[in-house]
């Protein structure tokens, strides 16, 4: 029997990508606070993740959660991320452990470490450079949105340590069908193709782990981010490389 997976923020870019690649592999339960397009082919729970009773109901009988819901704007205000990203994630984690959910896949972001690029453009060949980042470094959020994602990672760490739920934080790069322009180094570094995205979340649903922080990007020639942990722990085998897919 298929595993039941709750997908929050299912109508966003990442959610639709996951669904389009993995629709038949899992029994999906979808939730989003926006109304779906009329041709959206799945049932969806119309509720906000701040609605504790709706969330409590939604997680019942679920094996895994992919948590994408939240304010995705990098310019989001503190007020918005405090509610939608920080409170929302805590409500979902609390409901998950109360309901015995086994794994929690958290959509984190490259913006958790955006300020590593503050003063200088990263030089990947510099032996003193912190790049490539591998997920063991302390967060340096580039904006309050990134701070809220770093905070979600900490909440995940706590709920894992305290309750044993498996938690993986995926610092998602730039999800696009086409690779960014060749002269946009940052975009080239963090491109995540749609098929690599689908595969990555599939691995997050299948692999065995306790608590992990990984980067979610394709196998790009030059990257600020290491894929070592994703390869080792998840068996992630990306097929795309921004250098070979110049838009």
User: Is 228 a binder of a second copy (CB under 8 A)?
Assistant: no
Q: Give min distance, CB of 216 to a second copy, in A.
A: 18
CA distances from 71 to 78, 89, 146, 157, 182 (A): 10, 11, 11, 21, 29
- Short-list 242, 166, 239, CA closest to 200: 239
Whether 145 is a known active-site residue: answer yes
Whole-angstrom Cα distance, residue 187 to residue 169?
Answer: 21
Using DSSP bridges, classify how beta strands 64-67 and 4-8 pair: parallel, antiparallel or unpaired: parallel
Q: Which is nearer to a second copy, 122 or 141 (CB)?
A: 141
Is residue 90 near a second copy by the rule CB under 8 A?
yes
Rounded CA-CA distance 224/191 in Å is: 11
82 binds a second copy, rule: CB under 8 A:
yes
Do the Cβ atoms of 33 and 54 come closer than 8 Å? no
150 vs 204 by CB, closer to a second copy: 150
Is 136 a residue that touches a second copy (CB under 8 A)? yes
Among positions 46, 61, 98, 162, the unique one binding a second copy when judged by CB under 8 A? 162
Stretch that binds a second copy, among 98-106, 143-151, 179-187, 217-225 (CB under 8 A): 143-151
Among the options 26, 116, 145, 225, which is catalytic?
Answer: 145
Region near a second copy per CB under 8 A, out of 30-38, 55-63, 151-159, 189-197: 151-159
From the list 37, 38, 42, 32, the residue with the least C-alpha distance to 12 is 32
Token look-up 């302390």 returns 138
Work out whether 75 is an interface residue with a second copy (CB under 8 A): no
Contact 247, 174 (CB under 8 A): no
Contact 85, 107 (CB under 8 A): no
Annotated catalytic residues are 145
Q: Which residues bind a second copy (CB under 8 A)?
A: 78, 82, 86-87, 90, 94, 115, 118, 136, 138-144, 146-147, 150-151, 154-155, 157-158, 161-162, 213
């Amino acid at each position: 029997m298929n595993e039941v997976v709750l997908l929050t923020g299912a109508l966003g870019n990442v959610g639709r990508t996951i669904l389009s690649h993995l629709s038949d592999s899992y029994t999906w339960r979808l939730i989003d606070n926006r109304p779906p397009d009329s041709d959206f082919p799945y049932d969806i729970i119309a509720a906000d993740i701040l609605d504790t009773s709706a969330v409590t109901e939604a997680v019942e009988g679920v094996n895994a959660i992919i948590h994408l819901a939240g304010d995705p704007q990098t310019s989001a205000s503190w007020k918005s991320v405090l509610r939608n990203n920080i409170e929302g994630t805590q409500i979902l984690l609390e409901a998950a452990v109360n309901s015995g959910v086994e794994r929690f896949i958290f959509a984190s972001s490259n913006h958790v470490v955006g300020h590593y690029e503050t003063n200088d453009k990263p030089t990947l060949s510099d032996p003193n450079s912190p790049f490539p980042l591998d997920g063991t470094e302390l967060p340096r959020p580039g904006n309050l949105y990134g701070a809220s994602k770093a905070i979600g990672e900490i909440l995940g760490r706590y709920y894992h340590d305290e309750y044993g739920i498996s938690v993986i934080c995926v610092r998602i790069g730039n999800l696009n069908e086409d690779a960014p322009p060749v002269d946009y180094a940052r975009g080239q570094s963090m491109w995540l193709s749609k098929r690599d995205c689908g595969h990555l979340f599939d691995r997050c649903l299948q692999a065995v782990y306790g608590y992990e922080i990984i980067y979610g990007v394709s196998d790009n020639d030059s990257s600020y981010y290491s894929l070592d942990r994703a390869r080792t722990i998840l068996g992630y085998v990306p097929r795309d490389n921004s250098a070979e897919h110049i838009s």
